[in-house]
């Protein structure tokens, strides 16, 4: 295929893209020059506006340019390369593919293949995913009938090439998706061998979340004068919470499984992935979480593909709430309902952290990224902060008091839901008979007690010791060693977006109490507890009662014992 744009020797260009930098010349996808069949498919799928990576990638790809795109998972890059591929397909009768997309994992191969099929349904596109773990016979049959687009993992694609069942002589576009992941998984030689089988006059597209030197070396060898697009980090305006709420907890190794259970109890994720380093760690953490009453599933390279498929089906179907996985096993996974990503250890490479948290906080939904760090791993947190340009607040582990408050809150919310039920009258006879010997409040308290105990009751655990900190963060509040403190109740909690630094700042700014004198802070969903010196308690109560914290004026008083 002759690539016209390259004959003009236009210089490479670099685009740093932010939403606010985009100026629309025409509305939506219609302004990108896509054919009517593709526009109809996008409308039927509910797509309204291109994402930044789509808006900047599609025009140069339609013009035949090579392209290097740096973009994280969830930015819409699949459509950014799939739509130009579909636009360029010819209706020829040849059996060999016209486009090849290489991806790191079986799961990503399926996702990309399904996306290409959905976008090209009005074009009757023939697309085939090829990967290991699937009977090769079906792939052979499909290839013999002829396909236009192949989406595959490097190992299986090379296998087909060596068998003589996949011929790449007609390929006009090659896409390397998640290129850094493929190199991390040891596919560098396979990729080189596959590219050697494709025509020199091809269009080459490379997408990667990070751009280490080895990725740049591939681009220099195999791409010609590529357009370069980099998705710049989005700055969060002052006072706004980022879509991914990031935090870390410093925990000694013997207590990490217990700490993870407590964090999950307080966070109550809809669906979460817990990342571990080894298969053995995955199995032990999964066992510990199931012993705590969670529905956790393991996912690692020691499992068969059928086992992996069943696990993913249960997660997407809602019968599993926690996935405990190694990095390699989880690559390419895209779970729409995912709310939390939890690092059981600090990732050894900061780029891996960026990959992981890119799985949550998509499409305007808030996500949560939590990291458990051993004291020796705190320097690695700083490396991540330097890469991302964001601080990762170090928070105090939930205490037994926090867990008890959380369980009481769950009991309250369960009762709140029951109060909205219109089928309560049939229980009135029970209330009437019991109130002959006890007042209505006592009856209600007994009912709440029974409900609370049926749901697990109070927490009976030992406190997890706090390791000596190696780094001092204002977000980390240690309990004072002296006993001359008063614990104050503040009527704002996590639901109001309250953070430890908000309380410390308000106390220091409004009452004049030095920040170093503020003691332990516990934040639950609806309220917070903070320790201050006895001598300053009245002054802090008066000051905070007049202050506005996170846009609200809280109730502040001494803690009532026995709450």
CB count in 10 Å sphere of residue 128 = 22
C-beta neighbour count of 544 within 10 angstroms: 25
Q: Where are the domains of the chain?
A: 4-231, 244-395, 400-454, 485-558
For position 156, what pLDDT does the model report?
Answer: 92
| CB-based contacts of 291, cutoff 8 Å, min separation 6 | none
Can you give the pLDDT at residue 382?
Answer: 83
Matching fold, domains 244-395 and 485-558: no
CATH of range 485-558; options 3.30.70.330, 3.40.30.10, 3.40.50.300, 3.40.50.2300: 3.30.70.330
Q: In the prediction, which pLDDT does 242 show?
A: 46
The listed CATH number (3.40.228.10, 3.40.50.300, 3.40.1280.10, 3.40.630.40) that belongs to domain 4-231: 3.40.50.300
Q: Which tokens sit at 27?
A: 């509305």
Predicted structure pTM score: 0.48
Range 244-395 has CATH code 3.40.50.720: no
What pLDDT shows up at residue 482? Answer: 41
Q: What pLDDT shows up at residue 407?
A: 74
For residues 479 and 493, give the distance between their C-alpha atoms in angstroms, rounded to a whole number: 19
Tell which residue, 342, 340, 338, has the closest CA to residue 274.
Answer: 342
User: Looking at 284-424, which runs of residues are DSSP E strands?
Assistant: 296-299, 322-326, 340-343, 367-373, 394-395
pLDDT for 561: 55
Confidence (pLDDT) at 79: 92
**Residue 373 three-state SS:** strand
The answer to whether 51 and 29 have CB atoms below 8 angstroms apart is no
- Residue-by-residue pLDDT tens, the chain, 563 positions: 333 333 333 333 344 333 333 333 335 788 899 999 999 998 887 676 788 889 999 999 999 999 999 876 556 789 999 999 999 998 655 789 999 999 988 878 888 999 999 999 999 999 999 988 777 888 999 999 999 999 999 999 999 999 999 999 999 999 999 898 888 778 889 999 999 999 999 999 999 888 888 888 999 999 999 999 987 544 434 443 347 889 999 998 888 998 999 899 888 888 889 998 777 888 889 998 988 888 888 887 777 777 877 887 787 777 778 889 887 656 556 666 788 999 999 886 677 788 788 777 665 567 899 999 988 778 788 878 877 778 899 888 888 777 777 777 777 877 877 787 767 878 888 888 888 888 888 888 888 788 777 766 665 566 777 664 443 333 334 444 344 788 899 988 888 888 787 788 788 777 878 776 788 788 887 888 888 888 889 999 998 988 888 778 889 999 875 44
Cα 429 to Cα 180, 442, 443, 450, 561: the distances in Å are: 67, 16, 13, 19, 35
Tokens of 93: 């009768």
Q: How far is CA 26 from CA 15, 51, 169, in A?
A: 20, 14, 37
Task: Please state, as a whole number, how many other Cβ atoms lie within 10 Å of the Cβ of residue 546.
Answer: 9
């Amino acid at each position: 295929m002759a690539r016209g744009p390259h004959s003009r020797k236009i210089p490479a260009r670099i685009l740093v893209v932010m939403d606010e930098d985009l100026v629309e010349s025409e509305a939506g996808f219609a302004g990108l020059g896509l054919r009517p069949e593709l526009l109809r498919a996008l409308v039927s799928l509910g797509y309204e506006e291109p994402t930044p990576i789509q808006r900047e990638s599609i025009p140069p790809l339609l013009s035949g340019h090579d392209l290097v795109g740096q973009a994280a998972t969830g930015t819409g890059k699949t459509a950014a390369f799939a739509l130009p591929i579909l636009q360029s397909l010819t209706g020829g009768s040849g059996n060999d593919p016209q486009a090849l997309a290489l991806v790191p994992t079986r799961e990503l191969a399926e996702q990309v293949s399904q996306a290409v099929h959905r976008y090209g349904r009005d074009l009757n596109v023939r697309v085939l995913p090829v990967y290991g773990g699937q009977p090769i016979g079906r792939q052979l049959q499909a290839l013999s009938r002829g396909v236009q687009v192949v989406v595959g993992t490097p190992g299986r694609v090379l296998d087909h090439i060596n068998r003589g069942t996949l011929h790449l002589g007609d390929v006009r576009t090659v896409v390397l998706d998640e290129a850094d992941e493929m190199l991390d998984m040891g596919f560098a030689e396979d990729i080189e061998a596959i590219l050697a089988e494709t025509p020199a006059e091809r269009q080459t597209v490379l997408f990667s979340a990070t751009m280490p030197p080895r990725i740049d070396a591939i681009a220099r060898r195999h791409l010609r004068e590529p357009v370069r697009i980099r998705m710049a980090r989005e700055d969060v305006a002052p006072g706004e919470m980022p879509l991914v709420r990031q935090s870390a907890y410093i925990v000694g190794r013997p207590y990490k499984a217990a700490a993870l259970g407590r964090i999950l109890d307080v966070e109550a994720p809809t669906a979460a992935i817990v990342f571990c380093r080894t298969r053995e760690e995955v199995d032990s953490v999964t066992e510990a979480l199931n012993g705590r009453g969670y529905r956790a599933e393991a996912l690692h390279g020691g499992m068969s593909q059928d086992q992996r498929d069943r696990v993913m089906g249960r997660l997407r179907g809602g019968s599993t709430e926690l996935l405990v996985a190694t990095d390699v096993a989880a690559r390419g996974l895209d779970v729409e309902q995912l709310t939390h990503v939890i690092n059981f250890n600090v990732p050894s490479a900061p780029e891996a952290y960026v990959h992981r948290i890119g799985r949550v906080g998509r499409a305007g939904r808030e996500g949560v990224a939590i990291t458990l760090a051993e004291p020796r791993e705190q320097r690695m947190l700083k490396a991540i902060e330097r890469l991302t340009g964001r601080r990762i607040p170090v928070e105090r582990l939930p205490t037994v008091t926090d867990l008890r408050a959380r369980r009481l809150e769950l009991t309250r919310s369960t009762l709140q839901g029951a109060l909205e039920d219109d089928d309560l009258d049939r229980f009135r006879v029970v209330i009437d008979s019991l109130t002959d010997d006890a007042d209505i409040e006592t009856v209600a308290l007994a009912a709440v007690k029974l409900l609370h105990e049926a749901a697990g009751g109070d927490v009976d655990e030992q406190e997890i010791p706090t390791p000596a900190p190696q780094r001092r963060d204002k977000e980390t509040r240690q309990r004072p060693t002296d006993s001359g403190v008063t614990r104050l109740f503040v009527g704002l909690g996590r639901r109001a977006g309250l953070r430890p630094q908000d309380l410390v700042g308000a106390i220091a700014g409004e009452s004049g109490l030095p920040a170093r004198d503020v003691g332990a802070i516990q934040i639950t969903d609806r309220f917070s507890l903070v320790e201050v010196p006895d001598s300053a308690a009245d002054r802090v109560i008066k000051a905070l009662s007049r202050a506005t914290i996170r846009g609200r004026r809280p109730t502040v008083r001494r803690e009532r014992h026995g709450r």
